Amino acid sequence: MGEQRSDIPPLGPPAGMQPLCVNFRTLLLLALLPWPGAGQFYVIGPRAPVIGLVGEEAVLSCQLSPSMDAQNMEVKWYRNDPFGLVHHYSTSQVDMEQQMPEYQGRTEFLKENITKGHVALRIRPIQLSDGGEYACFFESSTYYNDATFQVLVTVSGRAPHIHIEPGNKKDFKVTCMSTGWYPEPEVQWRNHQGLHLAPGSETKTMEGSGLFHVESSLTVDKSSRADVSCVVRNTILNVEKEVHVSLADSLFLEDFTWIVWLVVLLVLLVISVTICVLFLRVRKAKGKLQEEYGKPQEENEKLTAVECKPQEKNEKLTAVE
């Protein structure tokens, strides 16, 4: 028991909250479990599930209680489903061929505090397949123990898009889409007051990358002219991405497209009227030209007619003579 007391102080503060919690848990363990004998120990894994963001790193730390030097121990991280070796630390030559191929080149053993029985495994970069149950296992020459914990792999997708299409005469179909989430995110529709609206349909599909695509549709009455938000939430990180749409605006948009068509029609009308007017003018001008070309001929005829008259007169004159 004297050993036990001398082991408590190193676990206590100086640092902030976390050491306090570890200390509390350690005390709880000490209270609930029989104290291990000489050379015996418990392994304490991460207190809460370890969250790994895809593409980032995750640190799986494990420690011995009571704290003791683990330099000469074997330390292994396993995962349970599928079962396999993630990393193996040993003073002797380690056969890392047993390491699961998907972890090769991605693990780093952090032994800065190994003399206090505190070690960690850094996995980088985290992949979707890394999620699941893990165990860290310590083995001394006389004793072994392990602890299991969860690794939750997650990624937040892109901000959602909203697509509005006319539904029946009286309503709209508002569809919210977002990709790149893991695990399946939650999708919620909210009105301007923050009240949840029930979606008409919702689909969550896994893409080739293993990430989820979500699509949720809401039917909104045209007369409501409400504002709605689509919120997609990563439930592990409690991170939300939201898109807001004002349906009054979209109504206006619809009117606007109608106006655009009207304007196009009017422009076409103006163009065709202009063409008609021009055409008529050209025809009128042509007609005038023809008239003008026609006149001189008539005048010539008149002239020749006039020219002939003196002859007649002369004839008359000669007749008189």
Ligand X SMILES: *[C@@H]1O[C@H](CO)[C@@H](O)[C@H](O)[C@H]1NC(C)=O
Of 71-79, 113-121, 173-181, 232-240, which part binds ligand X (CB under 6 A)?
A: 113-121
Q: What's 99's DSSP letter?
A: B
Residue 61 sits in the site that holds ligand X (CB under 6 A): yes
Supply the Cα-derived Rg of the chain in whole angstroms.
Answer: 45
For ligand X, the closer CB: 121 or 232: 121
Among the listed residues 126, 115, 288, the one whose alpha carbon sits nearest the alpha carbon of residue 210:
126
188 touches ligand X (CB under 6 A): no
The count of residues interacting with ligand X (CB under 6 A) is 6
Contact range with ligand X by CB under 6 A, out of 87-95, 109-117, 182-190, 285-293: 109-117
User: How is the beta sheet containing 161-166 ordered, strand by strand?
Assistant: 161-166, 171-181, 212-221, 201-206
Q: How far is the CB of 152 from ligand X (least distance, A)?
A: 20
Q: Among residues 63 and 175, whose Cβ is nearest to ligand X?
A: 63
Q: % helix / strand / coil in the chain, to the nearest 5?
A: 35, 35, 25
Q: Does 22 bind ligand X (CB under 6 A)?
A: no
Treating both helix axes as pointing N-terminal to C-terminal, what angle do 17-32 and 2-11 enclose, rounded to 10 degrees? Answer: 160
The residue nearest ligand X at its CB is 113
Edge-first strand order for the sheet with 42-44 is 42-44, 58-65, 118-123, 107-110
Q: How far apart are CA 262 and CA 319, in angstroms?
A: 84
Instruction: Select from 11, 73, 120, 187 the one that contacts ligand X (CB under 6 A).
Output: 120
Three-point CA angle 212, 167, 159, nearest 5°: 30
* 179 is a site residue for ligand X (CB under 6 A): no
Cβ of residue 116: shortest distance to ligand X, in angstroms? 7
Q: Which of 23, 113, 127, 188 binds ligand X (CB under 6 A)?
A: 113
Rule CB under 6 A: say whether 112 interacts with ligand X: yes
Minimum distance from residue 113 beta carbon to ligand X (Å): 4
Give yes or no for residue 100 binding ligand X (CB under 6 A).
Answer: no
* Residue 36, φ and ψ in degrees, nearest 5: -65, 155
Does 40 interact with ligand X (rule: CB under 6 A)?
no
CB of 156 to ligand X, least distance (A): 27
Residue selected from 8, 51, 94, 110 as contacting ligand X according to rule CB under 6 A:
110
Q: Of 198, 190, 202, nearest to 244 (Cα)?
A: 190
Applying CB under 6 A, which residues contact ligand X? 61, 110, 112-113, 118, 120
